[in-house]
Amino acid sequence: MDEQLGAIDEQLRAHMQFEIKHLHEQPGITVVYVTHDQGEALTMSDRIAVFNDGRIQQLAVPDELYERPSNSFVANFIGENNRLSGTVEEIAGAQARVRLDDGTLIGATAVNVVTKGQKTVVSIRPERVDIDPLPAEGTTQTMDAEVLEFIYMGDVFRTRLKVAGSEEFVIKSRNASNRRRLVPGEKVRIGWAMEDARALDPL
Protein backbone atom coordinates (compact mmCIF):
# COMPACT_ATOMS: atom_id res chain seq x y z
CA MET A 1 0.00 0.00 0.00
CA ASP A 2 1.41 3.37 -1.03
CA GLU A 3 0.03 6.41 0.85
CA GLN A 4 -3.46 4.85 0.84
CA LEU A 5 -5.02 7.26 3.34
CA GLY A 6 -3.41 10.54 2.35
CA ALA A 7 -6.50 12.20 0.84
CA ILE A 8 -9.20 11.53 3.46
CA ASP A 9 -10.26 13.53 6.52
CA GLU A 10 -8.65 12.95 9.91
CA GLN A 11 -11.42 11.02 11.69
CA LEU A 12 -12.01 8.63 8.79
CA ARG A 13 -8.27 8.27 8.36
CA ALA A 14 -7.84 7.18 12.00
CA HIS A 15 -10.68 4.67 11.61
CA MET A 16 -9.18 3.24 8.40
CA GLN A 17 -5.76 2.89 10.02
CA PHE A 18 -7.19 0.51 12.59
CA GLU A 19 -9.25 -1.35 9.96
CA ILE A 20 -6.13 -2.01 7.87
CA LYS A 21 -4.28 -3.09 11.03
CA HIS A 22 -7.10 -5.55 11.84
CA LEU A 23 -7.02 -6.92 8.27
CA HIS A 24 -3.34 -7.64 8.83
CA GLU A 25 -3.77 -9.21 12.28
CA GLN A 26 -6.87 -11.39 11.89
CA PRO A 27 -6.14 -13.34 8.68
CA GLY A 28 -2.37 -13.00 9.17
CA ILE A 29 -1.81 -11.13 5.90
CA THR A 30 1.54 -9.40 5.43
CA VAL A 31 1.08 -5.74 4.51
CA VAL A 32 3.89 -3.48 3.29
CA TYR A 33 2.73 0.09 3.87
CA VAL A 34 4.58 3.14 2.50
CA THR A 35 3.95 6.47 4.25
CA HIS A 36 5.60 9.78 5.10
CA ASP A 37 3.24 10.20 8.08
CA GLN A 38 5.30 9.18 11.12
CA GLY A 39 2.29 8.89 13.41
CA GLU A 40 0.58 6.61 10.93
CA ALA A 41 3.68 4.41 10.71
CA LEU A 42 3.91 4.10 14.50
CA THR A 43 0.18 3.31 14.80
CA MET A 44 -0.05 0.66 12.10
CA SER A 45 3.25 -1.17 12.08
CA ASP A 46 4.81 -4.24 13.68
CA ARG A 47 8.17 -3.21 12.24
CA ILE A 48 9.27 0.01 10.56
CA ALA A 49 12.11 0.62 8.13
CA VAL A 50 13.30 4.23 7.91
CA PHE A 51 14.97 5.02 4.59
CA ASN A 52 17.25 7.88 3.59
CA ASP A 53 18.74 8.13 0.09
CA GLY A 54 17.73 4.54 -0.59
CA ARG A 55 19.47 3.13 2.50
CA ILE A 56 17.82 1.69 5.59
CA GLN A 57 18.81 3.83 8.57
CA GLN A 58 17.05 1.67 11.17
CA LEU A 59 14.69 -1.33 11.12
CA ALA A 60 12.86 -1.87 14.41
CA VAL A 61 9.55 -2.20 16.23
CA PRO A 62 7.75 1.15 16.70
CA ASP A 63 8.64 1.81 20.36
CA GLU A 64 12.32 1.02 19.85
CA LEU A 65 12.46 3.25 16.77
CA TYR A 66 10.89 6.17 18.61
CA GLU A 67 12.53 5.80 22.02
CA ARG A 68 15.94 4.46 20.97
CA PRO A 69 16.82 5.98 17.58
CA SER A 70 20.17 4.77 16.30
CA ASN A 71 21.19 8.05 14.63
CA SER A 72 20.20 11.71 14.24
CA PHE A 73 18.31 11.16 11.01
CA VAL A 74 15.94 8.65 12.63
CA ALA A 75 15.55 10.78 15.78
CA ASN A 76 14.52 13.79 13.68
CA PHE A 77 12.39 11.89 11.16
CA ILE A 78 10.25 9.98 13.67
CA GLY A 79 8.30 12.32 15.94
CA GLU A 80 9.28 15.66 17.41
CA ASN A 81 12.76 15.86 18.85
CA ASN A 82 14.81 18.36 20.86
CA ARG A 83 18.40 18.77 19.70
CA LEU A 84 21.26 20.25 21.72
CA SER A 85 24.62 20.51 19.95
CA GLY A 86 27.90 19.99 21.74
CA THR A 87 31.19 18.12 22.06
CA VAL A 88 31.92 14.87 23.87
CA GLU A 89 34.10 15.51 26.93
CA GLU A 90 34.15 11.97 28.31
CA ILE A 91 32.79 8.50 27.60
CA ALA A 92 32.47 5.96 30.42
CA GLY A 93 30.79 2.75 29.37
CA ALA A 94 27.34 3.58 27.99
CA GLN A 95 27.42 7.16 29.29
CA ALA A 96 28.80 10.31 27.70
CA ARG A 97 29.49 13.72 29.22
CA VAL A 98 28.74 16.43 26.67
CA ARG A 99 29.80 20.08 26.73
CA LEU A 100 27.00 21.97 24.98
CA ASP A 101 27.79 24.90 22.70
CA ASP A 102 26.86 27.37 25.46
CA GLY A 103 29.28 25.69 27.91
CA THR A 104 26.74 23.65 29.90
CA LEU A 105 27.88 20.14 30.80
CA ILE A 106 25.23 17.37 30.65
CA GLY A 107 25.07 13.58 30.69
CA ALA A 108 23.56 11.37 27.99
CA THR A 109 23.50 7.79 26.73
CA ALA A 110 26.34 7.33 24.22
CA VAL A 111 24.74 5.90 21.07
CA ASN A 112 27.04 6.43 18.10
CA VAL A 113 29.77 8.61 19.61
CA VAL A 114 32.99 6.91 20.64
CA THR A 115 35.77 9.44 21.32
CA LYS A 116 36.49 12.53 23.36
CA GLY A 117 36.32 15.70 21.25
CA GLN A 118 33.74 14.28 18.86
CA LYS A 119 30.89 16.57 17.83
CA THR A 120 27.46 15.34 18.87
CA VAL A 121 23.78 16.22 19.05
CA VAL A 122 21.94 15.27 22.23
CA SER A 123 18.40 14.13 21.45
CA ILE A 124 15.53 14.41 23.99
CA ARG A 125 11.85 13.74 23.26
CA PRO A 126 9.52 16.64 24.29
CA GLU A 127 7.21 14.48 26.44
CA ARG A 128 10.15 13.21 28.51
CA VAL A 129 10.95 16.70 29.84
CA ASP A 130 9.42 17.86 33.13
CA ILE A 131 8.88 21.38 34.45
CA ASP A 132 10.15 21.95 38.02
CA PRO A 133 11.25 18.30 38.34
CA LEU A 134 11.48 16.67 41.73
CA PRO A 135 15.09 16.08 42.81
CA ALA A 136 16.39 12.58 42.07
CA GLU A 137 20.10 12.66 42.73
CA GLY A 138 22.25 11.08 40.05
CA THR A 139 19.39 10.27 37.67
CA THR A 140 17.95 13.63 36.59
CA GLN A 141 19.53 16.32 34.42
CA THR A 142 18.20 19.81 35.21
CA MET A 143 18.65 23.11 33.41
CA ASP A 144 17.33 26.67 33.47
CA ALA A 145 14.96 27.69 30.69
CA GLU A 146 12.95 30.71 29.52
CA VAL A 147 9.42 30.30 28.17
CA LEU A 148 9.08 31.70 24.64
CA GLU A 149 5.68 30.38 23.56
CA PHE A 150 2.75 28.46 25.06
CA ILE A 151 0.23 26.71 22.78
CA TYR A 152 -2.97 25.06 23.99
CA MET A 153 -3.63 22.00 21.79
CA GLY A 154 -6.57 20.45 23.63
CA ASP A 155 -5.22 17.17 24.96
CA VAL A 156 -1.68 18.53 25.38
CA PHE A 157 0.14 21.77 26.15
CA ARG A 158 3.04 22.59 23.84
CA THR A 159 5.62 24.96 25.31
CA ARG A 160 8.61 26.33 23.40
CA LEU A 161 11.58 27.40 25.50
CA LYS A 162 15.05 28.85 25.25
CA VAL A 163 17.44 26.21 26.60
CA ALA A 164 21.26 26.34 26.41
CA GLY A 165 21.10 28.95 23.66
CA SER A 166 18.54 27.03 21.56
CA GLU A 167 15.16 28.70 21.01
CA GLU A 168 13.54 25.58 19.55
CA PHE A 169 13.37 23.41 22.68
CA VAL A 170 9.84 22.03 23.11
CA ILE A 171 8.00 20.42 26.01
CA LYS A 172 4.73 18.53 25.57
CA SER A 173 2.69 17.97 28.72
CA ARG A 174 -0.71 16.35 29.21
CA ASN A 175 -3.63 18.69 29.79
CA ALA A 176 -4.61 18.05 33.40
CA SER A 177 -6.17 20.09 36.19
CA ASN A 178 -2.87 20.26 38.09
CA ARG A 179 -0.81 21.45 35.11
CA ARG A 180 -0.03 25.15 35.13
CA ARG A 181 0.00 27.12 31.91
CA LEU A 182 3.32 28.85 31.43
CA VAL A 183 3.63 32.46 30.30
CA PRO A 184 6.15 33.81 27.75
CA GLY A 185 9.05 35.43 29.57
CA GLU A 186 8.68 33.17 32.62
CA LYS A 187 11.86 31.53 33.93
CA VAL A 188 11.54 27.84 34.86
CA ARG A 189 13.66 24.84 35.77
CA ILE A 190 13.32 21.80 33.52
CA GLY A 191 14.66 18.26 33.81
CA TRP A 192 14.72 14.79 32.33
CA ALA A 193 16.06 11.35 33.17
CA MET A 194 19.60 10.93 31.84
CA GLU A 195 18.66 7.72 30.01
CA ASP A 196 16.16 9.75 27.94
CA ALA A 197 18.99 11.88 26.49
CA ARG A 198 20.89 10.24 23.62
CA ALA A 199 24.24 11.46 22.28
CA LEU A 200 24.01 10.96 18.51
CA ASP A 201 26.02 11.82 15.43
CA PRO A 202 26.03 15.53 14.49
CA LEU A 203 23.55 16.72 11.89
Residue 88 lies inside a defined structural domain of this protein: no
Better-predicted residue by pLDDT, 187 or 16: 187
Domain enclosing residue 165, as ranges = 126-192
- Cα-Cα-Cα-Cα torsion 91, 96, 97, 98, nearest 10 degrees, comes to 110
Does a structural domain hold residue 149?
yes
The domain that holds 131 is classified in CATH as 2.40.50.140
Residue 146, domain member (yes or no): yes
Q: Does residue 14 form part of some domain?
A: no
- Asked if residue 187 has pLDDT above 70, the reply is yes
Cβ atoms of residues 198 and 122 within 8 Å: yes
Could you tell me if residue 152 is inside a domain? yes
pLDDT above 90: residue 102: yes
Q: With residue 43 as reference, give the H or E element that holds it.
A: helix 38-44
Q: What is the pLDDT of residues 139-172, one digit of tens each?
A: 688 999 999 999 999 999 999 999 999 999 999 9
By the 8 A CB rule, do 192 and 164 touch? no
Secondary structure percentages of the chain, helix, strand, coil, to 5: 20, 40, 40
Mean confidence (pLDDT) of the chain: 89
Q: Is residue 12 part of a domain?
A: no
pLDDT of residue 73: 95
pLDDT digits (tens, 9 = 90+) for 23-42: 777 777 788 888 888 888 88
Q: Is residue 172 part of a domain?
A: yes
Three-state SS for 199? strand
Q: What is the pLDDT of residue 138?
A: 55
153 lies in some domain: yes
Give the model's pLDDT for residue 36. Answer: 80
| Structural domains counted in the chain | 1
b or e along 102-138 (b: 16 or more beta carbons within 10 Å of the residue's beta carbon)? eebebbbbbbebeeeebebbbbbbbbbbbbeeeeeee
Would you say 181 and 92 are in contact if contact means Cβ atoms under 8 Å apart?
no
